[in-house]
Structure 1
Amino acid sequence: MRALLYLLPWPIALGFVVPLTVEPAGATGATPLLRGLLALSVAQCAVAMHTIRHGLAHYVDGAPPPWRSAGVSLGLGAVSVGLIIFLQVTGGLDRDGQAMAQMLINALLTVAMSTFMLSTVRRLVLGTLVVAVLVAGALAAAGGHGGLPVAALIVVLFVGLFGLVTTRSSAWFIAVIWEIDRARDVSARLAVAEERLRFGRDMHDVMGRNLAVIALKSELAVQLARRGRPEAAEQMAEVQRIAQESQREVREVVRGYRAADLPAELEGARGVLSAAGIDCVMDRGRPGVELPPGVQSALGWVVREATTNVLRHGDARSCTVRLRTDGGRAVLVVENDGAGDAPATGTPGSGLAGLRERLSAVGGTLRAGHAGNGRFRLTAEVPLVREVLG
Structure 2
Amino acid sequence: MNETGLDGFRRYTWWVVPGSNAIVLILFTGEWVLDGDVPAPARLFSAGALVVEVAAVLVLLTLRLRAGERIRLPAGWPVAGALAGAVLAACALPLRNYGLWAVGPAVMVAVVATYLEPRARRRLILGATVLAAVPGGVVSLLADDGRLLYATLFPPGMTAFVSWAVLGPLWAWDIAGRLEEARRISAELAVKDERLRFAAELHDIQGHHLQVIALKSELAARLVETDPQRAVAEMGEVRQLAADALRDTRAVVRGYRRTSLDDEITNATRVLASAGIDARTTLEPATIPEAARHLLGLVMREAATNVLRHSTAREASIEYRVSSGTACLRVSNDGAGPGPDTEGTGLRALAERLEAGGGVLEWTRTDDRFTVSASIPGSSR
Verify: 1:72 aligned to 2:101, yes or no.
Answer: no
User: 1:215: Cα distance to partner?
Assistant: 0.7
User: 1:203: Cα distance to partner?
Assistant: 1.0
CA gap 1:271/1:146 in 2 versus in 1, 3 angstroms: farther
User: 1:251: Cα distance to partner?
Assistant: 1.4
User: 1:147: Cα distance to partner?
Assistant: 5.9
User: 1:220: Cα distance to partner?
Assistant: 0.6
Q: What residue number does 2:225 align with?
A: 226
**CA distance in 1: counterparts of 2:64 and 2:146, whole angstroms:** 36
Aligned partners of 2:56 and 2:80 also within 8 Å: yes
Please point out which of 343, 365, 375 is paired with 1:381.
375
> What amino acid maps onto 1:100 in structure 2?
Y
Verify: 1:85 aligned to 2:82, yes or no.
Answer: no
**CA distance in 2: counterparts of 1:152 and 1:377, whole angstroms:** 86
**CA distance in 1: counterparts of 2:246 and 2:148, whole angstroms:** 87
Give the aligned length: 366
User: 1:20: Cα distance to partner?
Assistant: 4.9
**CA distance in 1: counterparts of 2:278 and 2:181, whole angstroms:** 56
2:76 is paired with a residue whose SS is helix
1:334 is paired with a residue whose SS is strand
Q: What residue number does 1:41 align with?
A: 50
RMSD of aligned alpha carbons: 2.5
Verify: 1:298 aligned to 2:286, yes or no.
Answer: no
User: 1:316: Cα distance to partner?
Assistant: 1.4
Verify: 1:312 aligned to 2:274, yes or no.
Answer: no
User: 1:144: Cα distance to partner?
Assistant: 4.5
Verify: 1:366 aligned to 2:361, yes or no.
Answer: yes
Aligned partners of 2:319 and 2:331 also within 8 Å: yes
**CA distance in 1: counterparts of 2:146 and 2:105, whole angstroms:** 20
Q: What residue number does 1:247 align with?
A: 246
CA gap 1:177/1:134 in 2 versus in 1, 3 angstroms: closer
**Per-residue Cα deviation, 1:13-70 (whole angstroms, up to 9, x for no partner):** 221233356564xxxx73431442233122211122222223334543x233214321
CA gap 1:300/1:133 in 2 versus in 1, 3 angstroms: closer
Verify: 1:124 aligned to 2:121, yes or no.
Answer: yes
State percent identity of aligned pairs. 30
Q: What residue number does 1:11 align with?
A: 23
Q: What residue number does 1:339 align with?
A: 336
**CA distance in 2: counterparts of 1:10 and 1:349, whole angstroms:** 59
> What amino acid maps onto 2:89 in structure 1?
V
TM-score by length of 1: 0.85
Aligned partners of 2:73 and 2:112 also within 8 Å: no
2:312 is paired with a residue whose SS is coil
> What amino acid maps onto 2:355 in structure 1?
S
Q: What does residue range 150-169 of structure 1 map to in structure 2 within 5 Å?
A: 150-169=149-168
Instruction: Please identify, of 372-381 and 124-133, the stretch whose mean Cα deviation from structure 2 is larger.
Output: 124-133
User: 1:71: Cα distance to partner?
Assistant: 2.5
User: 1:338: Cα distance to partner?
Assistant: 2.4
Instruction: Please identify, of 353-362 and 191-200, the stretch whose mean Cα deviation from structure 2 is larger.
Output: 353-362
Q: What residue number does 2:4 align with?
A: none
> What amino acid maps onto 1:310 in structure 2?
V
**CA distance in 1: counterparts of 2:41 and 2:252, whole angstroms:** 82
Q: What residue number does 2:274 align with?
A: 275
* Structure 2: 5+ residue stretches without partners: 1-11
**CA distance in 1: counterparts of 2:124 and 2:143, whole angstroms:** 23
User: 1:365: Cα distance to partner?
Assistant: 1.7
User: 1:236: Cα distance to partner?
Assistant: 0.8
Instruction: Please identify, of 146-155 and 374-383, the stretch whose mean Cα deviation from structure 2 is larger.
Output: 146-155
User: 1:2: Cα distance to partner?
Assistant: 4.7
> What amino acid maps onto 2:111 in structure 1?
S
**Per-residue Cα deviation, 1:271-316 (whole angstroms, up to 9, x for no partner):** 011111111111113x4x2222221111111101110011001211
Aligned partners of 2:93 and 2:101 also within 8 Å: no
**CA distance in 1: counterparts of 2:198 and 2:377, whole angstroms:** 25
**CA distance in 2: counterparts of 1:55 and 1:149, whole angstroms:** 37
**CA distance in 2: counterparts of 1:86 and 1:353, whole angstroms:** 78
CA gap 1:173/1:57 in 2 versus in 1, 3 angstroms: same
Q: What residue number does 2:349 align with?
A: 354
Instruction: Please identify, of 160-169 and 203-212, the stretch whose mean Cα deviation from structure 2 is larger.
Output: 160-169
Aligned partners of 1:316 and 1:337 also within 8 Å: yes
**Per-residue Cα deviation, 1:194-233 (whole angstroms, up to 9, x for no partner):** 2221111111101211111111111111101132532111
Verify: 1:208 aligned to 2:207, yes or no.
Answer: yes
Q: What residue number does 1:139 align with?
A: 136
**CA distance in 2: counterparts of 1:353 and 1:187, whole angstroms:** 24
Q: What residue number does 1:50 align with?
A: 59
Aligned partners of 2:14 and 2:62 also within 8 Å: no
Q: After TM superposition, which residue ranges in structure 1, 4 or more long, deviate above 6 angstroms?
A: none
CA gap 1:144/1:265 in 2 versus in 1, 3 angstroms: farther
* Structure 1: 5+ residue stretches without partners: 89-98
**CA distance in 2: counterparts of 1:160 and 1:366, whole angstroms:** 64
Q: What residue number does 2:103 align with?
A: 106
CA gap 1:136/1:368 in 2 versus in 1, 3 angstroms: same
CA gap 1:121/1:162 in 2 versus in 1, 3 angstroms: farther
> What amino acid maps onto 2:204 in structure 1?
D
Q: What residue number does 1:91 align with?
A: none
Instruction: Please identify, of 271-280 and 152-161, the stretch whose mean Cα deviation from structure 2 is larger.
Output: 152-161
> What amino acid maps onto 1:352 in structure 2?
L
Q: What residue number does 1:325 align with?
A: 322
Aligned partners of 1:329 and 1:382 also within 8 Å: yes
